[in-house]
Chain A
Amino acid sequence: MTKPDPSIGDEHYEVVIIGSGLSGALIAARLGEVGIHTLVVEAGKDAADNLDAFHGASIKIPSAPFPPRAHGLGGDLRDPSYEPVGRPVVLSLGEESWRDPSQSYYVQSGPLPFASSYERLVGGTTRSWMGISLRMLPSDFRMRERFGRFADWPIDYQAISPWYEAAEGALSVSGEAAEQSYAGIEFAPGYAYPQPPLAPSWLDGEVRRRLSGLQLDGIDVAVRTTPSARRSRTAKGAPACEGSSSCIPLCPTGARFSPLTILAAAQKTGKVTVASGWVASRLHMGDGGVIEKVTLMRSDAGGVKRQVRAKQFIVAANAIESVRLLMMSRGQGNPDDGLANGSGQLGRNLMDHPMLVSWGLMPEPVGAYRGPLATSGIEVFRDGAFRQTRSAFRVEIGNTGWNFPIGDPDTTTLDLIRGTNTSGLNPSHEALAGSALTLRLANLLSRQFHLSFELEQSPQETNRVTLSDQCDGLGLPRPAIVYDLCAYTRAGFVHAADLSARIHARLGSIDYTNTNSTHPASVDVGPGVDGRPRRIRYFGAGHIGGTFRMGESARHSVVDEWQRSWDHRNLFIVGSGSFPTFGTANPSLTIAALCLRTVDRVINEWRA
């Protein structure tokens, strides 16, 4: 599909896009439509979805179906210093590995682990995503104005709203506008999502029924369906969701949006070339701060180099790889602290949606392990006056039992056969067989559920991506990360943990959440109902942002409202790295909306 030919430097392009993920794909497709000659450069490989690799993987981490293989059969990690196109993987963010540069692509110095990973391949990390497509709230764009906290965006909800519609169209989002009209979200009159919402799971219905009437701080704990880029109905030959319970890493039916569809449409215009296996290692600045060319290194041919010139450059790697490229472009005629860094903000304000995962057993079977990974959530804590003092969060209702928290159904099955108790469900260490085994398994597994509390993280300048002195297999410096959770976010965790306990009590479920975590990615959340202190592990949501924040002035931000560099006017840096605050919405829909808005601007300027 893509162009692996090392001769790409022979041509001259009008636009070069670095990164073929959601952002790069959407922008390339639009440029191709209007006839702008565009090269999309992708460091990773052009690999098809490999369902067999996922099904056959003993350790079913998100990177399992994608090359290169990150670990051996026993889970031993490959040394990233030998990888030409390294990436962080879940296993390298573990208790032992996160601070070990021989196991972790990130070179982390703490004090807490940054716990999110990403892919580097054609299509980017959106090859492996849930498809959750929530809009950000009007308040999310106005944190300083409304709550006296952090920063306001240079655009507001009204400005982005039409682009949300465009993004929902591009991603074929399933949802219902009336149900999504909360916390100030408004839709244009008569607006309808491209697809009706996916049916809520049986578990969703049980949670909704049992939580009816529950209030916390005077707020009704309401359950509503979650808009997602998964088709609820077949359309134009494209399939509808069949409930394969694995949107991550792969949707086996193709019902969930994939950027490969957009890349294929881009290439079909005849104006867009996608070149995989080329690592952008340096952007070159000419007179007046204009970016003139990019140096590319072939990932599988000993770092063979080419240089490609273009009139405009769009860096669309991700919030870490984009920063890495701009910082690698330092000195030798470029500024000493990297490109696009006149504000000194490049790489700062690294954010995620750190997650508290809670899991329990319902009194009766709830149909665990069926359906998409999640179909409903609790959104009422995404906004409120409390944001003056603590972070907001949303709650996702997990349809896949205890798979995420403990790796079930495997862990409980092995426990009951071997007489162990890793799951916590076999406290008597019984070794079962026969109908006693299968009846017990059916009883336990069918009652499982989990909740993911995804927290708004506040921007902090000290949470930062820079360049390490540790290199990858091409001799390029790997990302160095400093990361912590501030008091604002930690206060949100306390509230999330308290709500979790209240929900379990109301559901009548037995709460098995580990409140005595010794993992380095853990936070204290105060005493529980039994008066004992609780220390709960947080997980990364894979939502990485903030590192090239947009703003209203060159002094305080890296890009303007169009995601254009203040310092280099033919350079755009796009993606969730431009978010000055992070809200609680999974970022992909907002990334798509911003990119469609950016490319519209680029095209209008081109025409002018």
Chain B
Amino acid sequence: MNLQRLSAWLLGLPDSWSIMFAQRGELADALLKHLIAEGHHADLQDLQDRFETVGQTADAAAVLATLDDSTRSIARTIMVAWLLGRYLAFETGQLSESVHASVMGPEAYRQSLVWHLIGATPMGVPQDGTDPWAAPPRVVV
């Protein structure tokens, strides 16, 4: 299973982001292990199969709307993990209404992608360059 390809589709990120995913093997491994340990292997496979069927150019939101709750929960868990470095809490296979999302670990937080959408780095991680905060904003997507 190519979790990075599936994730890039779920997040609608172009090929130029493949290097970002490639650099985050640790996060991908941790996420995969987590989903399997939580008993979601079958749902994950369903999601992967659906992705292979519809292809990279399909509208992810439209596809997710057609999924059953548990498969859609897996998709959301994957999106949250990549963007925030957090695990969504599960309750009997469903997302809990009182959901909270715990950080996967310090490295996953440092690798989280949401900051990169807006040309920033996670809070507590230095930026590159001289006085980068003074430069015009750089929205990356």
Contact = CB atoms under 8 A, between A and B. Distances in A.
A binds B: yes
A252 B124 contact: yes
A199 B103 contact: no
B124 A434 contact: no
B31 interface: no
Contacts of B110: 55
A203 to B, nearest CB: 8
Contacts of B131: 198-199, 243
A81 interface: no
A43 interface: no
Interface residues of A, number: 57
Contacts of B138: 367
Interface residues of B, number: 52
Given A242-B127, A250-B124, A414-B80, A445 B117 contact: yes
B118 interface: yes
A52 interface: yes
A7 interface: no
A199 B141 contact: no
A443 B83 CA distance: 15
Contacts of B102: 58, 73
B42 interface: no
A201 B133 CA distance: 5
A49 B86 CA distance: 23
A228 to B, nearest CB: 13
A176 B136 CA distance: 24
A417 B72 CA distance: 11
Listed residue (B107, B127, B134) with the most chain A CB atoms within 10 angstroms of its CB = B134
B31 to A, nearest CB: 15
A445 B139 CA distance: 10
Chain A interface mostly: loop
Contact of A434 (B10, B101, B109, B125): B10
A200 B135 CA distance: 10
A55 B106 contact: yes
A438 B61 CA distance: 12
A403 B123 contact: yes
B7 to A, nearest CB: 11
A54 B124 CA distance: 8
A75 to B, nearest CB: 8
B25 interface: no
Give the one of B86, B120, B121 with max A CB within 10 A: B120
A167 to B, nearest CB: 25
Nearest to A448: B118
A433 B122 contact: no
A432 B120 CA distance: 22
A434 B106 contact: no
A58 B103 contact: yes
B124 A246 contact: yes
Contacts of B11: 433-435, 437-438
A216 interface: no
A198 B100 CA distance: 37
Contacts of B84: 409-410, 413-414
A367 B136 contact: yes
A358 interface: no
A367 B133 contact: yes
Residue in A252, A431, A435, A445 with the greatest tally of chain B CB atoms within 10 Å: A435
A245 interface: yes
A439 B11 CA distance: 9
B132 A51 contact: no
Contacts of A434: 9-12, 59-61
B126 to A, nearest CB: 4
Interface of B: 9-13, 59-61, 63-64, 75-76, 79-80, 83-84, 86, 95, 99-103, 105-107, 109-110, 114-115, 117-127, 131-141
Interface of A: 51-58, 60, 73-74, 198-202, 205, 242-246, 250, 252-253, 365-372, 375, 399-400, 403, 409-410, 413-414, 417-418, 431-439, 441-443, 445-446
Given A51-B124, A367-B138, A410-B86, 18 more contacts: A52-B106, A54-B124, A56-B103, A56-B105, A73-B102, A201-B134, A202-B136, A242-B126, A252-B126, A365-B137, A370-B120, A410-B84, A417-B79, A418-B76, A434-B61, A435-B13, A435-B141, A446-B139
9 A-B pairs closest in CB distance: A371-B133, A435-B12, A434-B60, A434-B12, A242-B126, A367-B137, A55-B106, A56-B106, A199-B131
